[in-house]
Structure 1
Amino acid sequence: MGRQAGADSGRPASPPRLGFLDACRGLAVVTMLFANFVNVFLHRVPLPLTHNYGDLLRPFDFPAPVFQFLIGVSLTLFLRKHVQLGRTPHRAKLAALRRFALLILLGMLLDCVGALHVGLRWGVLQTLGLGGMIATLLADAPGEGVMGVAIALLGCFSGALNGEVHASPIAALAFVPLTLGGLLVGRLLPRGQRRELGRFIRYTTALALGAGALAAAFYAAGIPFNKVVGTSSFVALAAGVSAAALAGTALVESLGMRFPDWLRAVGGNALTAWVLQYVLVYYPAWIAFPSWRRLPFFPGVAAILATTTALSALTVALGRRGIRIPI
């Protein structure tokens, strides 16, 4: 027993999780679930609760792009962790590429089952995986280079090249600047010292303001805010919102406040929650009960809240047993 303890103590320690990052990711995924379940349970959806309505900007247009941004932030932690655990930077990047490739394949499988059709389908998880793979390839590039690629993509997707983001890999490139923005923010993540957290908040706030100003410039040039096709104005605005959300959760933590354990746990198992919604909500609603007519507003909202709560609780319970889809 003593020899085993000595062997374990010689292994590199895995770096601790960042509570404010898990909390931000948890807020994003819970809000995404709520927004998606609105379309499952409500017969008539009030305008403030809609999303993906073209040029009409809605609050629920932002959770999915925020999650895409946080994928880039998490990638930095993933690479840092694997290097600390003894892998070479090259092998750490290969592990990340493999993980994102599997995420794309998982998304294709889930979408094929939902459509009852075998084929190469594109969707949200695939867009996340594509952004992650490109960010991994640029992980060692200087910040100016990463920023240059992001701005170049924003310029390319300011008109003719735009298409439905979650319908094809080419159109999905419009969301890649979100992941690259997260990659840049991830490089600033604090390593435990409080003064580093303050510096992180300042830089992330500055990025949020800069992205917001860029979004305003694109909008003033006549490019509408449109999440569906990923216009440059929307993507820049979503990057600003994402950075502001992360700065906000970091600020809360810097003030000594503690986020609920369940929220941080959901954030640490966010992809598990995303997959569970397919299996436990989408498939029963659209395949097992194709005549489902949805509910009036108040019973529907009650069903949405109950389902979101139950799915989050199941995600946490599975995570505690080691059953999770890692980011």
Structure 2
Amino acid sequence: MADEAGARRLAFLDACRALAVLGMLFANMMNVFLRRVPEVLQHNEGDILRAFDFPAPVFQFLIGVSLVLFLRKRTVGGLTSPRARLTAVRRFMLLIGLGIVLDSAPAVLGILTLSEWPRWGVLQTLGLGGLLATGVSGLPDGAVAALALGLLALFFRGAPGEVHHYPLAGLTFVPLTLAGLLVGRGLEAGPPERQFVTRAAAAAVAGVGWSAAAQLAGVPFNKVLGTSSFVAIATAASAALLLATAALERAGVAFPDWLLAVGANALTAWVLQYVLVYYPAWLVFWGWRRLPLLPGMAAVVAALAALSALSIALGRRGIRIPI
């Protein structure tokens, strides 16, 4: 894998990852700062499909893409394939553990009962998808695709609980990571040319096809429960966004350095959200009144800029949560 090709891949992938994490942070912080979130900007509204339902699944998809590059980098660096996979497993286990610690912190202060923790959340679902994708990373495309389709069929109408609240429900998002794994394999041979485009387009078409069939069967788009119609359309959207950023880069568009830096430090930004936004709101100023629309949006943008800047600054000093 040539350095030049690797750099090109990293740029459009980091840009896509940055858009996903910024979308996730923006959606969450509106719930923290705004007294009333405008309908068009809401997310996790059950059977109502919203634009901000997509950033988290996009990030889940990109975990699979990044896994391919991670494993290849380790094997090129001298590790055997089993050792490289073991390294990935350790990282995903640590990610799950970190998520449990962050989401369970209120229990330490007695705000949650013992029966409510350890808690499940976004980081844990990302780690779960990464673990299963790592486990099948040595299998051929057909086997990986069959597993993804099998999970879509198993959770055709969604999970018996919320995706980001229960480990079993988190399995509904695993097809996103597996699709990312298949698309990422198109990047192994070089820059984003025919194989990558073909795989990403196939993932998008398959996602739209499954989603349409599920809709005809009466399955709603529901991110909260991870219905197969939503997971499929989110897979299509994720592949399309990655294709778009790759096309922009190939057309000579230079992504802003700050955007690429946010993408490279995306998990750090997500963790800082807990420490600098959630914990003060939940644990310190839990009785505070949220803000009207305009000052609330100003607070959201300011907090988002601060989180991004701090993540970049920490990353430059070698302090980051690797993806």
TM bin (shorter chain): over 0.9
> Which residues of structure 2 form unaligned runs of 5+?
none
Structure-to-structure mapping, 1:188-203, within 5 angstroms: 188-189=186-187, 191-193=189-191, 196-203=192-199
Measured after TM superposition, the shift of residue 295 of structure 1 is 0.2
Q: Which residue of 2 aligns with 1:250?
A: 246
**2:174 partner amino acid:** V
Q: Which residue of 1 aligns with 2:132?
A: 134
Q: Of the candidates 240, 244, 267, which is equivalent to residue 236 of structure 2?
A: 240
**2:32 partner amino acid:** V
CA contact (8 A) 2:184 2:196 kept: no
Q: 1:104 to 1:320 in 2, by over 3 A?
A: same
Q: 1:183 to 1:43 in 2, by over 3 A?
A: same
Whether 1:264 and 2:256 are equivalent positions in the alignment is no
Whether 1:27 and 2:23 are equivalent positions in the alignment is no
Measured after TM superposition, the shift of residue 200 of structure 1 is 2.0
Whether 1:164 and 2:162 are equivalent positions in the alignment is yes
Q: Which residue of 1 aligns with 2:210?
A: 214
- Who wins on radius of gyration, i.e. which is larger? 1
Q: Which residue of 2 aligns with 1:61?
A: 53
Give me the whole-angstrom Cα distance separating, in 1, the residues matched to 2:203 and 2:79: 31
Measured after TM superposition, the shift of residue 151 of structure 1 is 0.5
In the TM superposition, what whole-angstrom CA distance separates every residue of 1:276-325 from its partner, at most 9, and x where no partner exists?
Answer: 00000000011110111110000001111111111101111110110000
In the TM superposition, what whole-angstrom CA distance separates every residue of 1:168-204 from its partner, at most 9, and x where no partner exists?
Answer: 11111111000000000110116544xx525423431
Give me the whole-angstrom Cα distance separating, in 1, the residues matched to 2:166 and 2:144: 23
Give me the whole-angstrom Cα distance separating, in 1, the residues matched to 2:197 and 2:245: 9
Q: Which residue of 2 aligns with 1:178?
A: 176
Give me the whole-angstrom Cα distance separating, in 2, the residues matched to 1:37 and 1:114: 18
Say which is worse superposed, 118-127 or 292-301, in terms of deviation: 118-127
Whether 1:46 and 2:19 are equivalent positions in the alignment is no
Q: 1:310 to 1:141 in 2, by over 3 A?
A: same
Q: Of the candidates 108, 119, 122, which is equivalent to residue 121 of structure 1?
A: 119
Q: Which residue of 1 aligns with 2:142?
A: 144
**2:235 partner amino acid:** A
Write out the 4+ residue segments of structure 1 that deviate beyond 6 Å after TM superposition: none
CA contact (8 A) 1:23 1:249 kept: yes
Give me the whole-angstrom Cα distance separating, in 1, the residues matched to 2:22 and 2:190: 27
Give me the whole-angstrom Cα distance separating, in 2, the residues matched to 1:162 and 1:260: 42
CA contact (8 A) 2:185 2:196 kept: no
Whether 1:18 and 2:10 are equivalent positions in the alignment is yes
Measured after TM superposition, the shift of residue 166 of structure 1 is 1.2
CA contact (8 A) 1:19 1:264 kept: yes
**2:22 partner amino acid:** V
CA RMSD of aligned residues (A): 1.7
1:31 aligned counterpart, secondary structure: helix
Query: How many residues end up aligned between the 2 structures?
Result: 314
Q: Which residue of 1 aligns with 2:80?
A: 88
Give me the whole-angstrom Cα distance separating, in 2, the residues matched to 1:246 and 1:297: 32
CA contact (8 A) 2:121 2:164 kept: yes
CA contact (8 A) 1:56 1:226 kept: yes
Measured after TM superposition, the shift of residue 205 of structure 1 is 2.3
Q: Which residue of 2 aligns with 1:325?
A: 321
Structure-to-structure mapping, 1:262-301, within 5 angstroms: 262-301=258-297
Q: Which residue of 2 aligns with 1:6?
A: none
**2:38 partner amino acid:** P
1:75 aligned counterpart, secondary structure: helix
Give me the whole-angstrom Cα distance separating, in 2, the residues matched to 1:92 and 1:200: 23
Give me the whole-angstrom Cα distance separating, in 2, the residues matched to 1:37 and 1:201: 34
**2:246 partner amino acid:** A
CA contact (8 A) 1:41 1:295 kept: yes
1:188 aligned counterpart, secondary structure: helix
Measured after TM superposition, the shift of residue 161 of structure 1 is 4.4
Measured after TM superposition, the shift of residue 159 of structure 1 is 3.0
Q: Which residue of 1 aligns with 2:225?
A: 229
Identity value in percent? 61
1:312 aligned counterpart, secondary structure: helix
CA contact (8 A) 1:52 1:228 kept: yes
Measured after TM superposition, the shift of residue 158 of structure 1 is 1.5
Say which is worse superposed, 182-191 or 13-22, in terms of deviation: 13-22
CA contact (8 A) 2:71 2:85 kept: yes
CA contact (8 A) 1:20 1:246 kept: yes
